[in-house]
Amino acid sequence: MTPSKPPTASGISRLLKAAGFERSESSATRIKGWRNYSEGFMVTSHDPGRAVCVEHKTGYDRGPNAAKRRDEMLTEYAGFFAAAGYSAERDESWAFPRLIVTAKED
């Protein structure tokens, strides 16, 4: 199955949620401008009309298992996107690894 148009953040988020992946929820903190995130995926626009960014938030886990859990989930997301007909490249240039999802080139 090949997507007919480039991915959108809302479309990819709905696709992941429908597949049973947990979405990260954010909540305010006492520090103005800071947010807490529950464990799960977060999708944002990367290059509007061409690509989206998928991250995995580890919630309150900041320990040594957080990086391992993030890597496991990004690998799982990448496999899911490949099966759904999208291209997902790992991007290490950000503070935390993430996936850049685009329509697969035929």
Is residue 40 within 8 Å of residue 57, measured between CB atoms? yes
Is residue 24 within 8 Å of residue 42, measured between CB atoms? yes
What is the chain's Cα-based Rg?
14
DSSP 23: B
pLDDT one-digit tens code per residue, 6-18: 899 999 999 999 9
The label of the residue with tokens 């890597």 reads 71
Q: What is this structure's pTM?
A: 0.85
pLDDT one-digit tens code per residue, 38-78: 999 999 998 878 899 999 999 877 777 888 999 999 999 99
* Residues 6+ positions from 43 with CB-CB distance below 8 Å: 9, 10, 12, 13, 16, 52, 53, 54, 55
Is residue 45 within 8 Å of residue 28, measured between CB atoms? no
